[in-house]
Every structure is written in C-alpha cells, then in structure tokens.
Chains A and B, each alone.
Chain A
Amino acid sequence: MRIPPNITQNIARSLLFLATAAAVGILIFVIGFVLAGGLRHVSWSFLTGPIIDMGRSGGIFPAIIGTGLMILVAIGIAAPLGVASAIYLAEYTSVGRLTNAIRFGINCLSAVPSIIFGLFGFLLFVVMLGFGWSILSGGLSLAAMILPTIILTSEEALRSVPLQYRNVAASLGASRWQVVTKAVLPYAMPGILTGVILSIGRSMGETAVVIFTAGSAVQMPRSVFDSARTMAVHFYILAREGLSSDMAYATAAVLICAILVINISAYAMMHRLMRGRRTA
C-alpha cells in the first residue's frame, strides 16, 4: 500500500519539528539543571569572597578576576590582529596563490583542538619564553585559539559593506586606508563586535587551553605574571576532585549566566543590525 504524499509530508514535518524541539529542549534542560542546582548557593559573598580551603567554602572572586584578566589579554591581542587580517583579506587583496595559502592557514587554525593550543602554549609561553603558569601565558594561548573566529567574522562583516561606500569615498580622493577607516570600518563595526563578543564567550568556557598555561592558583592574582584559575577551571577542579558539590553547582551557575548574557547580547546586536540594514 502506498502512503499518500500529503500524509508522508505531515509525518516528515512532525518528525523534523520534534528533532528541533528536542535540541531546544536539551538547551533548556542543561541551563535549567545547572541554574536549579546552583543559583540558591550564589550570594554576594560568594561572588566577592576569596577561595577558601581549595574551594570547599568561601567564594570565587579570584576566579572571576582571573577570567576577566585572561580574556582582556586574549582580546587585546587577538582583536587588533584579527581585524587587521580581515581588512587585508577583504580590502587589500583578491584571489591569488598567496591569499589562498593565508586562507588555508586560518581555516586549519580554526580546526585545531583546544588541547593542542594548551600543549603549544605550555611549550612556547610557559617554558620557552619563561612566562611560567600565568595569566599572560593563558591569555596569549587563548588569543591564538580565538584569532581565526575573529578574522572570519570580521571579514564577513567587512564584505557586507555595500560597494558604494568604498566607491564614493575613493571618488572623493580618499586613500585606500582612509576608505577603510572612514567609510568601511564604521559600517562593519557592529558585525566585528559581534564576533569579538562571541569569542569572549568561547574563551570564558574554555578549560583545556587555560589549565596547562595559566595553572590553577587559588590566590588573588596581583599581575598578569601570576598564575590564576578561571571560573571554568575552578568548576572543573571542584567537580572532578569532588571537593564540594554545592560550590561546583554555584560556580557553574555563575559561569552559565555570564555566558548567556554575553551570547544573547551578541545575538541582539546582530539582530538589530540585520533589521536596520533591511529597512535602510
């Protein structure tokens, strides 16, 4: 017996809908699970207190500062370098063998697993350059990891700038660099920022890179040459060593909230950008 096509259509549509609903359901479940277990242990003193007794009590303030400093180092290096790369690829060069090689390199770098960045950062920054386990080593390794993401999103943002912007600026006698800085970059900035914000989110959740390059000191870091743990590393150690389930949940809840805020603000920015472009 043949099933009529319109019935197959309805069955297929329902199954596809179920798959999508399941994916969103998993997202809600994971976030809900962590928040339900953790939020009630989060308090002001938890956010601003020192890590006491390896994390069995106290707070996570040093981990928050460690996370923030490491991301500052990573973004401070990767954002200018990445945007400059994107400007070169989008505005200064066209198709060619050298450009293809550069693109291939970026593409391969984006596929390298984080543990490899950890090994690399350990050899280069911790051992060879003598930075030791430090925020600097961790931040530099993270910068290498997020560089391809920033390049690719920035290039896309630059390419979405209408050609007239460049032509008009150039016809007014602007040099190529002036065209880029005065006409193209302002228009592409929201798109570039979205990529940077998403990279911040990715750095925040990263563990494998950071644990081998920044160590896991529980003290408050005093400079970028001190070892520090990020929230993700702190959570990993709490969960793995079974030090304190409550503290682990609470740390995860703070981490997830921070990542949610970061990602949602990036999407909101993207969305407003798209809407603005459509009406313009």
Chain B
Amino acid sequence: MDRLISKLLFFAACSSTAILALIALFIFKEGVPIMIKSGLGHFIFGTVWQPLEGRFGIFPFIVGSIWVTIGALVLGVPFGVACAVFLAEFAPRSWVNFLKPAIELLAGIPSVVYGFMGVVWLAPLIRNYLGGPGLSILAASCVLAIMILPTIVGVSIDAIQAVPKTYKEGSLALGATQWQSTWRIILPAAKSGILAGVILGMGRAVGETMAVIMIAGNATQIPHSILDSVRTLTANIAMEMGFAVGEHRQALFATGVVLFFFIMILNSIALRFAKKKF
C-alpha cells in the first residue's frame, strides 16, 4: 500500500516535467517546419513581416522585445533593489509587515489593468511632453518596470537576508555606518542572489503579453528611438493568433519557439546565479 502511494506521488511529481516536455513538443512540432522552410536565418534576421505574402521575418520583434526589456531593467532594477535594501536593512519591522505585502500586491494586479492604465494615462503623458505616438518603448518599459518590481524586490530581500549576520556585525564593529556596511559589504556579498532576481525579472518582462500589446503600439518596424512604437515577440503571437491560418499560424508558433528559447536560456542563467552560496 505504502509502495503504491509512493509510486503515485512520484508520478504526480513528474507531471510538471511532462507538461514542460509536452509544451516544447507541441510548439516545436507546429513551429519548426516553417522556420526550416523559410530558412532559419531568414526567419530570425529577416526584417519584413508580411504573413499574407509568405514573408516571415521576426527580427523587428526580437529587437522590440530586447528594447522594452532593457528599458524595464534600467528603470526597474535600481528601483527594486533600493526597495529591497530599505525593507531588509533600514525599515522598522512593523513597517515591513505592511510594505512587503503591498509591493507583492503589485504582482497581483492583472496585466490588462496595467495595459489599460498605460493607454489612458501614461501614453498621453508621453505624447504630450516628449512627442512621438505615445504608445512606445518608453511607455512599455515603464509599465514593465512596475510589473517586474515584486520579483526583483522579493528575490533581492532573500539574497540580502541570506548574507551571514557576522559580515554586517564585523563591519559595524569597525566603525562603518549602516549605509557603508550595506553598500560595501552586504550588497557585494548578495550580488549573485540579486542578479538571479534581475534575470528572473527579465524573463517576466520578455514573456509579458497583454500589457505590452496594449501600450507598445505594435508597429512592425525596427525602432529608432525609445519614443517609437514596437511590437514584441509575445505581442506578435497574441495579435495575430485570432485570425491566422496555415503557414501564417505556423509562423506564430515559430515565434513562440524563439520566445521559448529566450526564456529557457534566461531561466538557466538565473538558476546558476541562485545556486551560488557563501
């Protein structure tokens, strides 16, 4: 009896890996043939996306994904690490009990709501004060920075708290201020954990779909400035899935293959950083 239960539990534990394998299998089976047919180089580095004429070049979307992700990191990482340092090192305990859940709650807000806020509030602001169409890399980056904040803050707090107390005590005993100890001792020691959080946040930003569709503008061009409108890999899939058929649909799954690779690479790097211990 116990042996049977143990077997059943083992199968349950394998289900996630099985689902992951199924996902890879299905997406690849549907997407890879069209990548081979148009030529891998043409598919990835082609700059023309005209699905009805059978021209599938997703390079502008790769560039778009990279731009909005970099933007989100530039805005979100200093912001997030600052929150984490404050919560882990400076804030009184009673504040943390309220502030930490509040920041985590940012992750609970649906991405469509962020997208909507971007459209009705942020994009007009950018259009009026900075020019351009408003729906742009900048708008998408701002919204993504907020969306990845909870990931960065959560992982960074864990990393900072994992630094042995003796490090900080030693530094304080030498007469360093709390900030000097944090900046010179704790942050360098927590670096790899914080990097893991940053890369996980990066994965979130690359994979985010609905908010980006609503605020990045979705133009199928290679952007020249951060005020230009772009389309990301995720947006390309979600925008056209509704009506695509035949090779066009396969090309969208192929876009999914590229996205899948991006995410798996990022996740492996994050795991490597997260494994480093003291």
Report which A residues bind B (CB closer than 8 A): 5-6, 8-9, 12-13, 15-17, 19-20, 22-24, 26-27, 30-31, 33-34, 81, 84-85, 87-89, 92-93, 101-102, 104-109, 111-120, 122-124, 144, 147-148, 151, 175-177, 198, 201-202, 204-208, 211-212, 232, 235-236, 239-240, 248, 252, 255-256, 259-260, 262-263, 267, 271
Contact = CB atoms under 8 A, between A and B. Distances in A.
Given A5-B177, A113-B208, A259-B109, A85 B121 contact: no
A102 B263 contact: no
A67 to B, nearest CB: 11
A92 B10 contact: yes
B179 A34 contact: no
Interface string B116-137: 1101010000000000000000
B40 interface: no
12 contacts: A8-B177, A9-B179, A105-B21, A112-B207, A115-B207, A118-B238, A123-B27, A205-B111, A207-B111, A207-B112, A232-B110, A239-B116
Contacts of B259: 113, 115-116
B241 A259 contact: no
B87 interface: yes
A147 B18 CA distance: 12
A84 B263 contact: no
Which one of A102, A108, A111 has the greatest number of beta carbons of chain B within 10 Å?
A: A111
Contacts of A211: 238
Interface in B141-195: 146, 149, 153, 176-180, 182-183
Contacts of B1: 175, 177
Given A5-B180, A101-B17, A205-B108, A17 B27 contact: no
Given A24-B102, A30-B113, A119-B27, A106 B16 contact: yes
A147 B91 contact: no
A19 B82 contact: yes
Contacts of A22: 79
Contacts of B179: 5, 8-9, 12-13
A114 B86 contact: no
Contacts of A271: 97
Interface residues of B, number: 84
Contacts of A89: 13
Contacts of B52: none
Contacts of B110: 204-207, 232, 235, 255-256, 259
Contacts of B219: none
Interface in B51-99: 78-79, 82-83, 85-87, 90-91, 97, 99
A201 B115 CA distance: 18
B265 to A, nearest CB: 10
6 closest A-B pairs by beta carbon, nearest first, are A113-B207, A105-B17, A205-B110, A84-B12, A19-B82, A16-B86
Given A111-B263, A113-B209, A123-B30, A232 B112 contact: yes
B207 A24 contact: no
Interface string B19-51: 111110011001000000000000000000000
B13 A19 contact: no
Contact of A19 (B86, B106, B111): B86
Given A115-B238, A259-B109, A33 B121 contact: yes
B121 A23 contact: no
A105 B22 contact: no
Nearest to A6: B177
B150 to A, nearest CB: 9
A117 B23 CA distance: 8
Contact of A26 (B106, B108, B206): B106
Contacts of B241: 118-119, 122, 212
A130 to B, nearest CB: 15
A35 to B, nearest CB: 11
Given A119-B256, A205-B110, A114 B82 contact: no
A206 B211 CA distance: 11
B17 A88 contact: no
Contacts of B271: 104, 107
Interface string B256-269: 10011001101100
B210 to A, nearest CB: 5
Which one of B19, B85, B91 has the greatest number of beta carbons of chain A within 10 Å?
A: B19
B112 A236 contact: yes
